Amino acid sequence: MTAPWAWRWAAYALVAAISVYLVAPMAIIVVISFSDSALLTFPPPGLSLRWYRSLAETPAWRDSILVSLQVMVLTAVAATALGTAAALGLASWRGPLAATIRSLLMAPLVIPHIISGAAIFLLFDAWGWVGSLQALVLGHIALAVPYVVATVGAALETMDHRLTQAALTLGASPRIAFMRVTLPLIRPGILAGLLFAAMLSFDELIVSLFLSTPQLRTVTVLMWSNVLGDIDPEISAIATVILLVSMVLLALQWFLSRQRGVPVLQGIGR
């Protein structure tokens, strides 16, 4: 038919090798985090929870995880509110002004995070906010808004606008029509935006690196400064925790996109 069997098996072998390349590093890190040895050997000589215990007993790790969770929740909620409102405002508006505003809102997705980080640092340094929770939250919101605009915008584009029209014709007030018809229809897009914003915030390193101080830093910033020193299984334990948070959010997102076909997107600035 298409290709001789040898070609096909060569392609399968290559795809299997690429799959191992993509997935194995994370799997190995997770296994090493349960090691009972202080060496990063694989397979580990024995299994234990000592590195997780040491994480829980170190105030710096505990504080940084708390900071990251706070920033994540505040970012996700605020970015979803701002992004959803903006997507509603942009819906069915065409023209050069609309295109300009859309570009403005989407810009943080395209501009390399190293530039965003330096610029946001410049702003908050002038305001004396570096090392504060609000600086981290505001910085992360700016990066997360475009994700929400994209997912809610996509949901608005695919929904049937005649349904809202029908509700209005049947005597619903604009507010009721929005709450009872439009909002339920775009809810998957809003939830997807919320999850993307949360994932982005929890994983974010570069902007956080500029805005953190030893007194107040996210878990990725603390992991970064540890990775630059001597690496040990404790870092693989924190890496596993970070992976776990991402995977839980991804699983929720995967489930949602299975259901309603919300696009899986990823910014290119990272």
Contact 194, 76 (CB under 8 A): yes
Extract the tokens encoding 270. Answer: 């990272």
- Taking CB under 8 A as the criterion, the residue among 73, 91, 133, 252 binding another protein is 91
31 part of the interface to another protein, by CB under 8 A = no
Nearer to another protein, 27 or 66 (CB): 27
User: Of residues 34-53, which lie at the interface with another protein (CB under 8 A)?
Assistant: 40, 42
Nearer to another protein, 149 or 188 (CB): 149
CA distance 248 to 178: 31
Nearer to another protein, 188 or 201 (CB): 201
User: Of residues 151-210, which lie at the interface with another protein (CB under 8 A)?
Assistant: 174, 199, 203, 205-206, 209-210
The residue written with tokens 């504060």 in the block is 132
DSSP codes, 6-67: HHHHHHHHHHHHHHHHHHHHHHHHHHHHTBSSSS--SS-SSB-SHHHHHHHH-HHHHHHHHH
What Rg do the C-alpha atoms of the chain give, in angstroms?
23
Nearer to another protein, 83 or 189 (CB): 83
Q: What is the contact mask toward another protein in residues 114 to 153, using x (rule: CB under 8 A)?
A: xxxxxxxxxx--------------xx-xx--x---x----
9 part of the interface to another protein, by CB under 8 A = no
